[in-house]
Chain A
Amino acid sequence: MSATLHAPAPRRTGIRRWTAGGWLRALWTTPLAFLLATGLVAGARAALGYEPLLAQQPYITTLMVMVPIGFLAGIGAFDYWARYVSGRPTIPDDHASHGAHSWKDYFKVNTDHKVIGTQYVVTTVVFFIVAGLLAMFMRAELAEPGMQYVDPQAYNGLFSVHASLMIFLFIIPAFAGLGNYVIPLMIGAPDMAFPRLNALSFWLLPIAGLMMLSSYFIGAFGAGWTNYAPLAVQQPDGNLMFQMGVQWAGASSIMTALNFLVTIITMRAPGMTFWRMPLLVWANFATSTLVVIATPFVAGSQFFILFDRVLHTNFFDPGGGGYVIAYQHIFWFYSHPAVYIMMLPGFGIVSEVISVFARKPIFGYRLMALSLMAILILGFSVWAHHMFVSGMADWLRVPMMVTTMVIAVPTGIKVFSWLATLWEGRIHFKTPMLFALGFVSMFVIGGLSGVYLGSVPIDIHVSDTYFVVAHIHYVLFGGSLFTIYAGFYYWFPKMTGRMYNETLGKIHFWLTFVGFNATFFPMHWIGTRGMPRRVADYDPMFGNWNMAISIASFALGASTLVFLYNMIVSWRRGEPAPSNPWRALTLEWQVSSPPPIFNFDEIPQVVGSPYEYGVRGARHAILNGKPVQEGREAAPMEETVP
């Protein structure tokens, strides 16, 4: 699936195959790093006289720092920088590793943002499938009261790894992947600002994911994805895998966010002012700001847990003067903004899709952009609404309740603007549009139950029940995942150069939509009746509901097979896609599908809004001497030139 016909790099032979960056070199650098790390810890412990010599946690921690570095050095992620810092002439890699010639090129360090975007999307879908299977195991256990297949700690491991993978390895990076592919195209740039950093931030992801998954070998972490102290300190060693996995995934997302911010600020095409940027670019601008500011706090919180476990510090141990609720404050100061990190890019995708398929300008463009920024700022002032029952200072409750309610205002602005965009539009019910509409309706339910949970009395009543499970899935499944599906279908022709099968896409939507509601809607009910979350066993009075939910969840899981079949078969044998199948105005649709290797032959000149669908004579940009304007509705050029 490449846009390039450049000659492939010459084949390396003999010993050079083992010393040049690639999988063969990684085959020996990774074990080498393993030996180095083991030797380092053993040497240090022997020298300092620590007992016992083979305490597991220091080894595991050091290995999880050094082995990934050894692997990354092996595949060549640091080659350019290694030459730079040693003062040798660097090898310009703009030609050598741009684009992909065959499927094998997707398994190499590549600096082309389009290849990286595809790598991101495929990797995240793999982790999505794995995390989804873990959810299936959970539902199998929960189908009947009593214990059937797993013991309680194994069940804790199932939901913890499920949530961690879905959040850190699917939703956040899937948005980063779509953004990686389309942001440079949308703003008229040939690539990202830091292509090598971009490649590195992709390769950190599979490392983080495999780390979290391999925690099953030494006892999966079972304290949930929130990993509260002191429970996290009492978990088996697999908990270290969560701490380090979060560090790698967090580093990846900070680097990507930094890259997005610099790209958006410094590389926009002439005429592309902030008020002419597509809303997807705005959304990623807001999200990246959140990531840069908030993610260090989750890094900090996991460092403290790590220190408490490995170095026996007392950050959260009241016995040594620590403060156990401090963990929750630090964690949620990141993780509430993280909710918006998982939502704002989806808002951007939906804004694109609804405007294009309703054939109307987006309603309230400036307020749409400003409400993103408002959510960004307000998002930092609500963290303690996750802690109403934690025993924190009482006076914090009401201010946090009020700020939580206030967030509903910018969110409401967005929802009403989408509805107003649809009003009297010529709506085309293609698959991306179905998912976008599904998102708007489901997200309203999730948002409203969020307002319920934000008010102190109701939160105290339903805290740690299935009502919370229902809420988070309406927000993250009905919200984020639906927008990700919308984005996958919307940009599939651009990314692969092929059309997906529309019928299968629609079948997938309806199966998912019905399966999703059948699975998660009853959870509101059993939650208000008091069924606790994160427990493998439950009162037999909930038995019938849980059986129904489990059956629905298996149907929901099966609906993913339709999606996978459609994507794989269409990528291989779908009809060739035209450059602009949706007749969209944004710049990524004005180049071929897939785009040429450097995106644009010449940088476009932007002259107007990207959303003027149905507006006579309105143009978004001039590209290769031709104005980008809507084909059917727009008047011929002569009429509009004064």
Chain B
Amino acid sequence: MSTVAHAETHGHDHHGPPPANVSSRVDSRLLGIYIFIASEIMLFGSFFTALFFARVIVAPEAWPPEGFHLPVYLALVNTIILVTSSFTMHWALQSIKRNYRAGLIAGLTLTFLLGLTFLLIQAREYSRIGFGPDANAFASTFFGLTGLHGAHVFVGLSLLAFALVRSIRGHFGPDAHDHLGVEIPGIYWHFVDVMWIIVYMTVYVL
């Protein structure tokens, strides 16, 4: 044990690592995604801070400024679409927990399509809105926050696509450690959904 020779004397044992002790009730991968989401919330926080400064500290006379309008009702439709997709995601996860594979695939497909619809409607909204991000601080924060959120929808959609490919290929099962590949994209998707409600309330409604 006392010198480098140790590695040589014991090196012949061709063995894998001893299993690590599990010192927490939370699965490491679930903990990982929760910590990652905490970090993501702070990233959104910095964008909300920029909005706060432009709107509350600078305090222009009107917000949105004269001549700028946001399609509040179109965005409400989008909100409903995204909230619905959280329920279909939940259905997908519950299905695999009961080993109901068709429900898993249908749920993931529905969630993916709803998320895609959301993104396409948002792209349409951008192209018809009548101003660009360079118009003024209002436009900058609008495109900043909705664009940051759109990027997160895109990441969420990619994760859903990965889970969908794997479930079509027959992966995942009812055991808790066997459907983490559905659960973790699901947690991320719910985060994206809740974050949209906050973005919608702050940017469009308030």
Q: Which residues of A contact B (CB under 8 A)?
A: 3-6, 84-87, 94-95, 188-191, 193-194, 254, 258, 261-262, 265-270, 272, 292-297, 299-301, 303-304, 307, 311-315, 317-318, 320-323, 325-326, 329-330, 333, 497, 576-580, 590-594, 596, 598-603, 624
List CB contacts (< 8 Å) of B107-146 with chain A: 133-141, 143-144
Inter-chain contact A262/B28, CB cutoff 8 Å: yes
CB distance from A623 to the nearest CB of B (A): 9
Interface of B is mostly: helix
**With a CB–CB cut-off of 8 A, which chain B residues contact A85?**
161-162, 165-166
**With a CB–CB cut-off of 8 A, which chain A residues contact B20?**
189-191, 267, 603
**With a CB–CB cut-off of 8 A, which chain B residues contact A313?**
133-134, 139-140, 143-144
Q: Which residues of B contact A (CB under 8 A)?
A: 1-8, 10-12, 14-24, 26-28, 31-32, 35-36, 38-40, 42-43, 45-47, 49-50, 53-54, 57-58, 60, 65, 133-141, 143-144, 161-162, 165-166, 168-169, 171
Q: How far is the CA of A322 from the CA of B144 in the complex (A)?
A: 13
When the two chains form the complex, which single residue of B21, B28, B138 contacts A188, counting CB atoms closer than 8 Å?
B21
CB distance from A168 to the nearest CB of B (A): 17
Q: How far is the CA of A297 from the CA of B38 in the complex (A)?
A: 12
Q: How far is the CA of A300 from the CA of B48 in the complex (A)?
A: 10
* Given known A-B contacts A5-B11, A315-B141, A300 and B3 have beta carbons under 8 A apart: no
Nearest residue (CB) in A for B143 is A313
The 19 listed contacts between A and B (C-beta, < 8 Å) are A87-B168, A87-B171, A262-B35, A265-B26, A269-B21, A270-B23, A292-B38, A292-B42, A295-B39, A296-B43, A297-B43, A299-B46, A314-B139, A314-B140, A321-B138, A578-B3, A579-B2, A592-B1, A624-B1
When the two chains form the complex, which single residue of B32, B43, B141 contacts A299, counting CB atoms closer than 8 Å?
B43
Inter-chain contact A87/B165, CB cutoff 8 Å: yes
When the two chains form the complex, which single residue of B26, B35, B47, B58 contacts A292, counting CB atoms closer than 8 Å?
B35
**With a CB–CB cut-off of 8 A, which chain A residues contact B15?**
598
Q: How far is the CA of A356 from the CA of B147 in the complex (A)?
A: 52
**With a CB–CB cut-off of 8 A, which chain A residues contact B65?**
321
Inter-chain contact A315/B140, CB cutoff 8 Å: yes
Nearest residue (CB) in A for B7 is A3
Interface of A is mostly: loop
When the two chains form the complex, which single residue of B4, B19, B43 contacts A594, counting CB atoms closer than 8 Å?
B4
**With a CB–CB cut-off of 8 A, which chain B residues contact A270?**
21, 23
Nearest residue (CB) in A for B58 is A323
When the two chains form the complex, which single residue of A261, A268, A297, A576 contacts B21, counting CB atoms closer than 8 Å?
A268
CB distance from A264 to the nearest CB of B (A): 9
* Given known A-B contacts A307-B140, A598-B16, A262 and B32 have beta carbons under 8 A apart: yes
Inter-chain contact A314/B171, CB cutoff 8 Å: no
CB distance from B118 to the nearest CB of A (A): 22
**With a CB–CB cut-off of 8 A, which chain A residues contact B24?**
265-266
Q: How far is the CA of A84 from the CA of B162 in the complex (A)?
A: 8
Q: How far is the CA of A85 from the CA of B163 in the complex (A)?
A: 7
Q: How far is the CA of A303 from the CA of B151 in the complex (A)?
A: 13
Inter-chain contact A579/B50, CB cutoff 8 Å: no
* Given known A-B contacts A85-B162, A297-B46, A321-B65, A292 and B23 have beta carbons under 8 A apart: no
Inter-chain contact B23/A268, CB cutoff 8 Å: yes
Inter-chain contact B7/A315, CB cutoff 8 Å: no
